[in-house]
Chains A and B, each alone.
Chain A
Amino acid sequence: MSCPKTEHLLQEYFADDLAPLTREEMENHLRFCDHCSAELEALMLAQSSLNHWQDQRVPHWDRGMELFRREHRVPSPGFSFWSKLQWVPSAASFAMLAILLLNVTVVSSDSGISISFGANKIESALLESRLFAFEQQQEADMDELVQRFEDRQDSNNIELLQAVIDQTQQTTAENLDLIYAFFEQQRLQDLEDMRLGYQELVDSDYATIRSLQQIAQFVSYQGDIR
């Protein structure tokens, strides 16, 4: 059963700006007209079904930030020098973690550097033997160094002693020469003194003899007088 008023009436109903009198009239009609009320209910249901919309999340996008930064000449945080290196601490942490977890061992030897993962007994035995060989090598090197040092010290000491002896010998010879010259001088002086002494003695003897002769002459003279 259709109603000639339905189309116009419901259009007005949904126009939501009806005057109070018109609304009352409409509600009276709807109360008695099954067709119109059923149609209204269906339309209301269709409208209300739209209200079940649930807002969906926006997929990721850059929100025009790149354009905004470019046009306002704002430096992008991703382009500064330090930002470029932001991965470095993470990479270093990751590397350290990997080294710890994998028990990485780095061995440096004469044949180069070897990197091994994990630890085992064979490796520790190898390490011990290498350590022993290294100690032996160190000991041999040390001995050789000590020997070389001693040799050098000895030669230095010999040179020093030789120099001291030479110096001493030279000094002694000079001193002996001086002593010899001094003795010679003293001897010559003594000889001269002796010669002078003998001369004086001789002179004294002559004087004594002359005195005696004078005394004798006097005595003889006195005797003659008597």
Chain B
Amino acid sequence: MNLTDEDEALIAAALNGSTYAWEKLVKRYESKIYNHGLRLMGNSTDAMDLMQEVFLGVYRNLHRFRGDAKFSSWIFRIAYNKAVDLGRRKRLFSSHTRVGEQEEMDVLESIPGGASFEPEKMVVDQEQNQRIIAMLGKLPIEQRLIVELKVFQAKTFQEIADVQDVSENTVKTRFYTALKKLKVASEENHVLS
């Protein structure tokens, strides 16, 4: 059974009231959605808000999922819409530099407990992630979403255009513009560090 079939089996079971299936489905995607939220929102609080809204949306609309597309595509479309909504609510469009402001707090908040806890690696990972969040924070939400879909989700320009309801050329232009801004941010980072 491949991942898509497993997803569909879990969805069917969850629709029949299986808490186990629902929990397994959530566990399968929560990390992807949470990290997606971290990159888009820039802090763990907003990332958690986004993740919870995404899974609430999934739960409310699960009966509408027909299996025409992959569940992963479907859930990321919901995540995209929620991110846009949340971004609007938090005025991310007008003051996107707010992203990454809660850097210090996030590092402390996101240190997990558990057997795989490795402090040094954690700190290095956190620093790298914070640099990436800071770079992404220089982009407006539309460009940040395109970078997210193109680089982290490995979507094609056509798929991104479908998700964002814009032309493929617009996506390409926005992506290139975003890369140029990232280049500047990256150079600033190197100068600062």
A and B part of one assembly: yes
A: residues with CB less than 8 A from B are 10-11, 14-17, 42-43, 45-47, 49-59, 61, 63-65, 67-69, 72, 74
Mark contacts of B78-99 with chain A using CB atoms, 8 A cut-off: 1 yes-contact digit, 0 otherwise: 0000000000000000000000
B152 / chain A contacts, CB cutoff of 8 Å: 50, 53
How far is B136's CA from A15's CA once the two chains are assembled, in angstroms?
20
Interface residues of B in 1-47 (CB under 8 A from A): 14, 17, 19, 22-23, 26-27, 30-32, 34-35, 38-39, 44
B51 / chain A contacts, CB cutoff of 8 Å: 58, 61
Nearest chain-B residue to A54 (Cβ)? B125
With both chains docked as a complex, state the minimum distance between the C-beta of A218 and any C-beta of chain B, in angstroms.
158
Give the contacting residue for A56; candidates B22, B26, B38, B180; CB below 8 A: B38
How far is B40's CA from A12's CA once the two chains are assembled, in angstroms?
26
User: Does B182 interact with chain A (Cβ within 8 Å)?
Assistant: yes
Please state if B26 and A15 are interface contacts (CB–CB under 8 Å): no
Please state if A63 and B17 are interface contacts (CB–CB under 8 Å): no
Count of chain B residues near A, Cβ 8 A: 48
Please state if B128 and A67 are interface contacts (CB–CB under 8 Å): no
Give the contacting residue for B17; candidates A10, A51, A72; CB below 8 A: A72
Please state if A58 and B31 are interface contacts (CB–CB under 8 Å): yes
B76 / chain A contacts, CB cutoff of 8 Å: none
Instruction: Given the known inter-chain contacts A56-B34, A63-B27, A74-B17, please indicate yes or no for A68 contacting B59, CB distance below 8 A.
Output: yes
Instruction: Given the known inter-chain contacts A58-B31, A63-B23, please indicate yes or no for A43 contacting B112, CB distance below 8 A.
Output: no
How far is B53's CA from A134's CA once the two chains are assembled, in angstroms?
74
Give the contacting residue for B186; candidates A46, A51, A56, A61; CB below 8 A: A46
Nearest chain-B residue to A7 (Cβ)? B176
Please state if B17 and A64 are interface contacts (CB–CB under 8 Å): no
A10 / chain B contacts, CB cutoff of 8 Å: 176
How far is B136's CA from A52's CA once the two chains are assembled, in angstroms?
13
B59 / chain A contacts, CB cutoff of 8 Å: 64, 67-68
Instruction: Given the known inter-chain contacts A43-B180, A63-B27, A68-B19, please indicate yes or no for A57 contacting B175, CB distance below 8 A.
Output: no
A59 / chain B contacts, CB cutoff of 8 Å: 44, 48, 109-110, 112
Please state if A63 and B39 are interface contacts (CB–CB under 8 Å): no
Instruction: Given the known inter-chain contacts A11-B172, A46-B179, please indicate yes or no for A57 contacting B31, CB distance below 8 A.
Output: yes
Please state if B179 and A47 are interface contacts (CB–CB under 8 Å): yes
Please state if B22 and A45 are interface contacts (CB–CB under 8 Å): no
Please state if B147 and A50 are interface contacts (CB–CB under 8 Å): yes
Instruction: Given the known inter-chain contacts A52-B132, A68-B22, please indicate yes or no for A61 contacting B52, CB distance below 8 A.
Output: yes
User: Does B145 interact with chain A (Cβ within 8 Å)?
Assistant: no
User: Does B72 interact with chain A (Cβ within 8 Å)?
Assistant: no
Interface residues of B in 117-146 (CB under 8 A from A): 125-126, 128-129, 131-132, 135-136
18 A-B pairs, CB-CB below 8 angstroms?
Answer: A11-B176, A15-B157, A42-B186, A43-B180, A45-B186, A46-B182, A46-B185, A49-B132, A52-B132, A53-B132, A54-B128, A55-B32, A59-B44, A63-B26, A63-B27, A64-B52, A64-B56, A72-B19
How far is B185's CA from A47's CA once the two chains are assembled, in angstroms?
11
Q: For the A-B complex with A15-B172, A57-B110, A72-B19 known, give 16 more contacts whose Cβ atoms are closer than 8 Å.
A: A14-B175, A16-B157, A42-B183, A46-B135, A46-B182, A50-B135, A52-B132, A53-B132, A54-B128, A58-B34, A59-B109, A61-B48, A61-B51, A64-B22, A64-B56, A65-B19
